[in-house]
Chains A and B, each alone.
Chain A
Amino acid sequence: MDSVDKDKVTVIDATKIDTSKYKREVKREDDAASQLKSTGLLNTLVYAKDRAEKRDQNVILALVDQVVNWGRLCSIWPVTSGLACCAIEMMSMSMGHYDIARFGSEVFRATPRQSDLLFVAGTVSKRMAPRLKRLYEQMPEPKWVIAVGSCAISGGPFVDSYAVLTGVDKIIPVDIYVPGCPPRPEAWLYSMIQLRKLIKEEGVGITWGLDK
């Protein structure tokens, strides 16, 4: 630390940085074939072979697995359930600015029976916990849970309160955690992308029934 020459350290004014040159170039697929490829449909076929080798599976089953996964990851319907402050950011995420609909997830189903994803968005009070668990149990398989906000992860600012559950993973299994209080909508979108990866890689697939 002593070796740093104090005079040589220049203070950078963050507001003066020209961010325009950091703009990421957006790669666009122009022709339909490559767009189809980017959806994962063609890649699905390629991956299926890998998958079959990796899991020592029949190629056909692996292919079915892949197609089903592809369907699941592009159409994740969340259940409409907001618990506290974070729920407002959940609404922001589905509105024009951030538009979760691009991932095919704007269909917020009001009934757990028809949804795939539970956002635990906000403080889980001890009174609410059993109901949340019930909500989770009412959802049909396959289902995923994203715990959003420090409250849902660990109790957050209310960790020493007598009325708040410290971490929703004490009652239901959580797939992805998104820290923040509240997390920015970008972080939510990032969590969606992570979830898509999770589905793609692990793949719950149609392991039930067909495999046996």
Chain B
Amino acid sequence: MIFENIYEIIAFILNSAGILQYMQSYSDALGISIAPKLIIILIETALLLVGVALMVMALTWMERKVLAHAQARLGPMITWYHGLLQPVIDGVKLLSKEDLMPKRADRWIYFIAPMIAFVPALLVFIPIPFGRDGAIISDLPMGILYVMAVSAISPIGILIGGWASDNKYSLLGALRAVAQDISYEIPMVLTVIGIVLITGSLSLQDIVLFQDKIWFVFLQPLGFIIFLVAAVAEMARIPFDLHESESEFVAGFFTEYSGMKFAFFFLAEYAHLFSIAAIMTTLYFGGWHGPMIPMIPPIITSIGWFTLKVLVIIFFTMWLRATVPRVRVDQILDIGWKVMIPLALFNVFITGLLVAGGVL
């Protein structure tokens, strides 16, 4: 069986279990024949949410462990095996913390900002192919454009969160974060143009399929380096972590947030990390391509390869965090506008020439 996306997979499973027909007839009788589709979509959403949440938890655990071991420490140890349950525990604790709101905060905006920051980080995953044979939520024909557009929404959440907190630290932190996000979005999109020129398609699935023989890292080395730097900046990791910049602005834009709202910002940060690493894997490291292991269904192996590549990239950023200091705000913007953008344009130019010349 060849599936197009996860929707069809779920439908197939339900169908072969005989549930779908039952649901169909029941809802037909009630006159709401769209209900089964909605239910499948709900299941899909739940899968995505659970998957991302699990991944984010794993990432927070991994971050603490990697940092600790880089620093000759042990990291969380007492909560189960090497502190594996630590993220759950943090979640439980944050859930039960008091939810403070500053007296002069802009109530609704303050309330809604964490969601605006968190939801786009989830939406990004829709057109990303996790594995072959339809492990994709929806293969949008404009996939890469959609991804870039959606991930540009989170800075709005950050900005209004910093604004609504009525705190100078928050406001300054938010302004810095947004300035950084915007100025690195541009080189990121420009490097993607190089890839799109070569593949001739905006769909992420096509881009992955194109990398059957050779990954884009080797075809677009300059583009990859620019994308990597921009990605680290977008992920807000040290050396480009203006979002938090702890020794300057206490905790950046979420200085005033506590409890679950803070947890949402925290989750958004890691979901963002995951999503950008996933995009990078898709664009430059051949997505789910990798040697298939016999006996195991290819869909599972390919998802495994994808996850592995993502984790390697994320490990790299954590390693970076343990090693290098932060770049100052004016220097970050300098690098973004004066180095990255011209280089990215140059990359587009070279790629265009090569494609027009028929080399690529």
Contacts and interface: CB of A to CB of B under 8 A. Distances in A.
A60 interface: no
A35 B100 contact: no
A103 B86 CA distance: 9
B266 to A, nearest CB: 9
A49 interface: no
B98 interface: yes
B92 A68 contact: yes
Contacts of A142: 96-98
Contacts of B251: 109-111, 114
Interface residues of A, number: 31
Interface in A149-184: none
A101 B68 contact: yes
B262 A113 contact: yes
Nearest to B76: A104
Contacts of B79: 39, 74, 104
Interface in A90-134: 95-96, 99, 101-104, 106, 109-111, 113-114, 116
B93 interface: yes
Given A39-B78, A72-B96, A75-B89, A106 B255 contact: no
Contact of A113 (B71, B80, B90, B256): B256
B250 A74 contact: no
A68 B93 CA distance: 7
A17 interface: no
B19 interface: no
B256 A106 contact: no
B73 A113 contact: no
B262 A104 contact: no
Interface in B321-358: none
A104 B89 contact: yes
A74 B64 contact: no
B246 interface: yes
Interface string A133-146: 00000001110000
A102 B85 CA distance: 12
Given A102-B74, A140-B98, A141-B98, A72 B257 contact: no
B258 A140 contact: yes
A141 B73 CA distance: 30
Contacts of A41: 80, 85
A114 B165 CA distance: 14
B100 A101 contact: no
A72 B93 CA distance: 5
A55 to B, nearest CB: 18
A103 B78 contact: yes
Most buried by B among A68, A72, A110, A114: A114
A102 B78 contact: yes
16 contacts: A32-B81, A35-B81, A68-B96, A71-B92, A71-B95, A71-B96, A74-B89, A96-B71, A101-B74, A102-B76, A104-B90, A106-B64, A110-B250, A111-B251, A114-B262, A142-B97
Interface of B: 64, 68, 71-81, 83, 85-86, 88-93, 95-100, 246, 250-251, 254-259, 262
Interface of A: 32, 35-36, 38-39, 41, 67-68, 70-72, 74-75, 95-96, 99, 101-104, 106, 109-111, 113-114, 116, 140-142, 206
